[in-house]
Structure 1
Amino acid sequence: MTKKILFFLFLYCINTAFAETIKTDVLVIGGSASGTAAALQSARSKLKTILVEPGPWLGGSMTAGGICILDANKNLPSGIYGEFRRKVIEFYKKTPGYDSTYNATLRFEPATGAAILKKMTDTAKNLTVKLNTPWTSIKKYDTGWDVIINQNGVTATIRTKVLIDATQFADAATKAGASLDSLSETMHDKGESLAPKTASNTLRDLTWAVILKDYGKAANKTISKPDGYNPSQYACLKNKDVKKLLADGKLPNDEYLINWAECGNRYAVSAEDLVPTKREELFKSLRLQTLGLVYFLQTELGYKNLGFDDTYNTPDHLPFAPYIREYRHTMGDVHMVLDDIYKPYSRASKLYRTAIGVGDAHPDQNSNDTFAYPPFPAYGIPLGVVVVKGFDNLLVTENAISVTHLVSASTCNPAVQMVLGQGAGTVAAFCAFFKTTTDHLNVRAIQGEILDFKGYILPYSDITWGDPDFRAIQQVSATGMLQTQTQPLSGNALKVVFNADSSVRTAEVKPVINEIYTRGFLWFNKNKPGEYFTVENLLSFISEITLQEPKPLQIEVQKQWKTAYHFKTDFDLKQPITRREFAVLANKYLNPFARRVDLSGKLIN
């Protein structure tokens, strides 16, 4: 009898231990590009953070999904993404033929990318990463969340102050109760002239990527004919320049990424196709079609020397997961539309003021799209798109962010998502640190933390974080006082530049000065500056606002003009002030960035 009692006590103790709740400040579900960056940033902001990933790798689409050629944000090496870029380039710099220039298209082997991310997380204090760990349920707890996970057959509850859904399908947000859109918007819904007249549930194409290795001309790596193989599905490749397609997908160490449109491995899907109950069957079918492409390439096109290696330990050697360009979007505290990219300064809302990440990915159009984007500029991603409306301390990244179908064609890019993930991690850290909720966010404090960690909030390609005036320029530009400018980049893309040495026009700075400073209107009426704002104009305005005596202020600035500020021009009161000079002096003496804004970019009085 005593033995039985001891045995049951032993079982009770074990079960009690297994049921113990793990407490954390921030929980990230999904080790995607954005999820990994979010967890890293939250931890680096000194908040206890846990990252849960059901699969074996970090990096999501760009590693586990095989999309390992990134041409986006190469001119915007923001924060954690810039760090990842540098580590990849450092790893391959001695590899023959590898392009290691500053803004080259980033190419890497998926396993290498995953290993670099794993090392970054392993060396981050305050961060616990749980790979191969599925989660099963989510429920609200006070202003935070309880999430049940299963690690190595053991069930546990993670209680978190802030939850970030970084999954491709917004499954965590859905479990939490968030509503998701399933239709593409019409031109009448959000006022987007490029949007279709009627709604559709067709999403952007899904890719099941292929990574193949060249084993040499004499090798024969032909796979077995896949079930249901139909060569007519791939016949259009006979009219394509396959050598060029392969060259475009060239990776280090004689490997190739296959990510081909039309009769390749990009597939049309709808939101209904991707609901949880249908995914497994759909994915099984798409994997077979993708294997058919490989078989066609090897047999019909003569590339039997290209074959699978051990990159992925799946039975068919295909990536663990597909690349999902779009699924369904949550309703965020704000909704980003195309005009927030094309016309950020002429809209009633000023979402550019709230940016927590930047992107320059050219929209990835479907083959059946009947429209063409005008030249597409780099842009900032507003904070409100990651905040799920009506849910305390629930944030989303990846495909669930609150943007339109047309905007998501750019924001779905893994490089853009990694940048956005850092922003989301900063938002989560703010809530956890200040013991507050997403209803009480301080946009400027969050942006300041992003800047502390070399992140961009304005997409300037000509002012990198290595510039000594990077922060001043970012902060003043975030007010709208100095507006972004665009220049042709390549193809249909536009880069956003600051043009630091160009002169400041009065018409540019006057509206925002008057908006921020109550005495601005009186100063302009009194001083009547000309077409170009001069050094004297700015010092006079600083004196008016800060109540400093004009002459001592002038003497102080003149002494520091070359020594402290390292300006290129000579100090001349009558000279039109350059954009760099204006940003540096306005940031120091006026600090317009200190004026708080809400999630729509409106100034808070």
Structure 2
Amino acid sequence: MLKKILIPLLLFICSFANAETIKTDVLVIGGGACGVAAAIQSARSKVKTLLVEPGPWLGGTMTMGGVCVLEGNRDLPSGIWGEFRRRVIDYYRPRLGYDTSQNATLRFEPKTAAEILKKMTDTVKNLTVKLKTPWTTIKKDGTGWEVEIRVNGETVTVKAKVVVDGTETGEVALKAGAQFVTETTNVTEKASDEIGDITWIAIIKDFGKGADKTIPKPDGYDPAFYNYFKGKDIKQMLKAIEIPNDKYMLNWPQGHINPSDLKPENQDQLYQKAKLRTLGLLYYLQTQRGFKNLGLDNQFATGDHLAFIPYIKESRRVRGMVRMVQDDILKPYSRESKLYRTSIGVGESFYDNSFALTYAASPRDLTIEYHSPYAIPLGAIVVKDLENLLVTEKAIAVTDLVNVSTMYPSVQMTLGQGVGATAAYCAFFKTTTRHLNVRVIQGEILDFKGYLVPFTDISQHDPHFRAIQQICATGMLKGVQKVDGNSIELEFDPDGTVNTDEVKPVLDEFYTRAFLWFAKEKPGDKLTLGNLLYFISDYTLTDPETLENAIGKSWKTQFKLPGELDTKRPATRLEFAVLANRYLNPFGKTVDITGKAVN
């Protein structure tokens, strides 16, 4: 009888204990654009992943924050970002007039995007998502972490091998003891403690001619603050921030703030001022410009009809293993460090039309130089001196001029895939962020259709996509810049010919006998297919004639190359990429966190 009582009691005690402690490989705290992509990729990489989000939706800035007009990465549908983009387009495709072209600005209703993200996570094995689940504490647990979360009002301990800080402003890393860099350098190169604009977004709707949706005058309203809009074509400006179903994304910046403004004791005042500025803009449009038909949409089901969270464009940035600076974008190949070789995410230069109603009157206008698309290095997400803690969003280790683009939701979603692959690497191989294998992590990103190099002319459907990405991630071939209006695209240019001076430095760096080969063969300015085959023959110790015959037979069938093998003509960039990747495998050469080759 006693045995029958004790066994159920022990089972009850064990089940209760298990409910109080959750063990997982990867814990992602914060379901913003980067956090949700990191969680998806981590789980797809076959490690147990838990995503906790304090709010009711996934998506962070682009859903709960209302940033629902996305210009960035339109030409770079990398991995999970590309998947999300396709799902949004497919959802709105039946709607008359919705632009479904490949590089159209992505526009959506925040709630719809949140639902799409939830459906994406629901289909991923190894992934558990807990919404409305805040976290309270974090502390080190060996090489991993112990985090307390609140589930249905109860405290639950999570033990994780790796933690990803998916919050908008690096809150987890701060509590974990990470060091941060808050000083910025503005366009005049003067040091400043200010960080980026804070905005509180509203979704407004056109309720039709004759409707009067005028709101009560906001506290502290001053029409002079909106003088910029006098004489402006408001209808034209609204087109830039239009989203489906006759709605618009409206925001007005609070202005640059100091880190102290984000402290809990100061947040309420800061946030209220930001809300009043946005409401003031709507009131101005209704009463001064005659747009009474524009009213607040109840998109978020909040009491004031504004977004759940503020949109903070810039915040404290962590001290990472490396720091990405503007020269890593403007001249990545001429720097001593070769951070482009460690790419785990990509971004592109773009003109941010979606904020046409905000930037012009911002207290500190930033005129950022148009630049080439860029790669985000692995070391920028790795917290220095704290093992197995990765950061995302505005907390990554970049300068403020780099943050102007990397903070953007579509760029962060692209980066999130790299963050997830990095977290999964540490968990799967039972190692730490001190011992990252750059090429293995990048290989995982490529396996799931992510970009390492931001080429706009080579799609993921191209049979040579991977070979081109791998060769160019080494720097052996470099992208070709193409100016397109106000932006610059980076193209691979597959039909272009290969300059000997371009490939020689990397061949010399990766292959010990390369300098002897160049001294003996003395190739001309243009590297011929014969030169390339001779180099491969020398490196692989293969008979030249045997190699040429084998490549000739496989030219169209295996390698899927156009034309015919002619050893006398200059090699095209495509031919070089495919053959060098197959026979020389420079991507297999180990590089460290700075991109330096490790022989």
Task: Sort the TM-score into its range (normalised by shorter chain).
Answer: over 0.9
Query: What is the Cα deviation at residue 508 of structure 1?
Result: 0.4
Which residue number corresponds to residue 199 of structure 1? 191
Which residue number corresponds to residue 47 of structure 1? 47
Query: What is the Cα deviation at residue 285 of structure 1?
Result: 2.4
Is 1:518 equivalent to 2:489 in the alignment?
A: no
Which residue number corresponds to residue 415 of structure 1? 410
Which residue number corresponds to residue 282 of structure 1? 270
Question: 2: CA distance between counterparts of 1:265 and 1:312?
Answer: 20
Question: 2: CA distance between counterparts of 1:75 and 1:444?
Answer: 25
Question: 1: CA distance between counterparts of 2:551 and 2:14?
Answer: 70
Judge conservation of contact 1:73–1:360 (CA < 8 Å) in 2. yes
SS in 1 for 2:488: strand
Per-residue deviation, residues 71-120 of structure 1 (Å, max 9, x unmatched): 11011100000000111111111101100011111111111111100000
Is 1:162 equivalent to 2:162 in the alignment?
A: yes
> In percent, how many aligned pairs have the same letter?
56
Which amino acid is the alignment partner of residue 443 of structure 2? Answer: G
Question: 2: CA distance between counterparts of 1:311 and 1:286?
Answer: 19
Match of 2:221 among 222, 225, 229: 229
Judge conservation of contact 1:79–1:419 (CA < 8 Å) in 2. yes
Query: What is the Cα deviation at residue 247 of structure 1?
Result: 1.1
Match of 1:456 among 448, 451, 458: 451
Query: What is the Cα deviation at residue 17 of structure 1?
Result: 4.1
Which residue number corresponds to residue 530 of structure 1? 524
Judge conservation of contact 2:457–2:493 (CA < 8 Å) in 1. yes
Which residue number corresponds to residue 134 of structure 1? 134
Judge conservation of contact 1:361–1:411 (CA < 8 Å) in 2. no
Match of 1:479 among 456, 474, 479: 474
Aligned counterparts, 1:396-411, within 5 A: 396-411=391-406
Which residue number corresponds to residue 353 of structure 1? 341
Which amino acid is the alignment partner of residue 510 of structure 2? Answer: I
Query: What is the Cα deviation at residue 372 of structure 1?
Result: 3.9
Match of 1:500 among 469, 494, 497: 494
Which residue number corresponds to residue 586 of structure 1? 580
Is 1:553 equivalent to 2:547 in the alignment?
A: yes
Question: 2: CA distance between counterparts of 1:373 and 1:354?
Answer: 25
SS in 1 for 2:317: coil
Which residue number corresponds to residue 429 of structure 2? 434
Which amino acid is the alignment partner of residue 255 of structure 1? Answer: K
Judge conservation of contact 2:71–2:351 (CA < 8 Å) in 1. no
Query: What is the Cα deviation at residue 16 of structure 1?
Result: 5.0
SS in 1 for 2:345: strand
Judge conservation of contact 1:19–1:157 (CA < 8 Å) in 2. no
Is 1:125 equivalent to 2:148 in the alignment?
A: no
Query: What is the Cα deviation at residue 233 of structure 1?
Result: 2.4
Is 1:297 equivalent to 2:285 in the alignment?
A: yes
Judge conservation of contact 1:18–1:156 (CA < 8 Å) in 2. no
Judge conservation of contact 2:315–2:395 (CA < 8 Å) in 1. yes
Match of 1:322 among 305, 310, 321: 310
Aligned counterparts, 1:38-437, within 5 A: 38-185=38-185, 196=189, 198-259=190-251, 264-265=252-253, 267-362=255-350, 367=362, 372-437=367-432
Which amino acid is the alignment partner of residue 357 of structure 1? Answer: G
SS in 2 for 1:380: strand
Question: 2: CA distance between counterparts of 1:97 and 1:265?
Answer: 30
Query: What is the Cα deviation at residue 226 of structure 1?
Result: 2.4
Which amino acid is the alignment partner of residue 77 of structure 2? Answer: P
Question: 1: CA distance between counterparts of 2:17 and 2:279?
Answer: 46
Judge conservation of contact 1:204–1:268 (CA < 8 Å) in 2. yes
- Report the CA distance shift for 1:238/1:534 in structure 2 as closer, same or farther (over 3 A): same
Which amino acid is the alignment partner of residue 73 of structure 1? Answer: N
Question: 1: CA distance between counterparts of 2:15 and 2:188?
Answer: 55
Question: 1: CA distance between counterparts of 2:38 and 2:298?
Answer: 29
Which amino acid is the alignment partner of residue 430 of structure 1? Answer: Y
The ranges of structure 1 where at least 4 consecutive aligned residues each deviate by more than 6 angstroms after the TM superposition are 363-366
Per-residue deviation, residues 334-373 of structure 1 (Å, max 9, x unmatched): 0001111111111100000000000014487884557744
Question: 1: CA distance between counterparts of 2:264 and 2:349?
Answer: 29
**Structure 2 unmatched runs, 5+:** 1-5, 353-358
Question: 2: CA distance between counterparts of 1:283 and 1:548?
Answer: 68
Question: 1: CA distance between counterparts of 2:207 and 2:379?
Answer: 49
Question: 2: CA distance between counterparts of 1:363 and 1:178?
Answer: 33
Question: 2: CA distance between counterparts of 1:584 and 1:15?
Answer: 56
Question: 2: CA distance between counterparts of 1:455 and 1:597?
Answer: 20
Question: 2: CA distance between counterparts of 1:598 and 1:363?
Answer: 34
Question: 1: CA distance between counterparts of 2:81 and 2:298?
Answer: 27
Judge conservation of contact 1:361–1:416 (CA < 8 Å) in 2. no
- Report the CA distance shift for 1:381/1:455 in structure 2 as closer, same or farther (over 3 A): same
Query: What is the Cα deviation at residue 312 of structure 1?
Result: 0.7
Query: What is the Cα deviation at residue 18 of structure 1?
Result: 8.0
SS in 1 for 2:23: strand
Judge conservation of contact 1:221–1:304 (CA < 8 Å) in 2. yes
Judge conservation of contact 2:52–2:130 (CA < 8 Å) in 1. yes
SS in 1 for 2:257: coil
Alignment RMSD: 1.9
Query: What is the Cα deviation at residue 14 of structure 1?
Result: 11
Stretch of structure 1 that moved more, 158-167 or 268-277: 268-277
Judge conservation of contact 1:53–1:134 (CA < 8 Å) in 2. yes
Question: 1: CA distance between counterparts of 2:179 and 2:125?
Answer: 35
Query: What is the Cα deviation at residue 154 of structure 1?
Result: 1.3
* Number of positions where the alignment pairs a residue of Structure 1 with one of Structure 2: 584
- Report the CA distance shift for 1:17/1:284 in structure 2 as closer, same or farther (over 3 A): farther
Match of 1:488 among 483, 500, 513: 483
Which residue number corresponds to residue 356 of structure 2? none
Is 1:571 equivalent to 2:559 in the alignment?
A: no
Tell me the TM-score normalised to structure 2 length: 0.94
Question: 2: CA distance between counterparts of 1:369 and 1:536?
Answer: 57
Query: What is the Cα deviation at residue 571 of structure 1?
Result: 1.4
Which residue number corresponds to residue 191 of structure 1? none
Stretch of structure 1 that moved more, 20-29 or 216-225: 216-225
Which amino acid is the alignment partner of residue 48 of structure 1? Answer: K
Which amino acid is the alignment partner of residue 296 of structure 1? Answer: Y
Per-residue deviation, residues 263-313 of structure 1 (Å, max 9, x unmatched): x44533222212233112211222123222222222222111111222111
SS in 2 for 1:52: strand
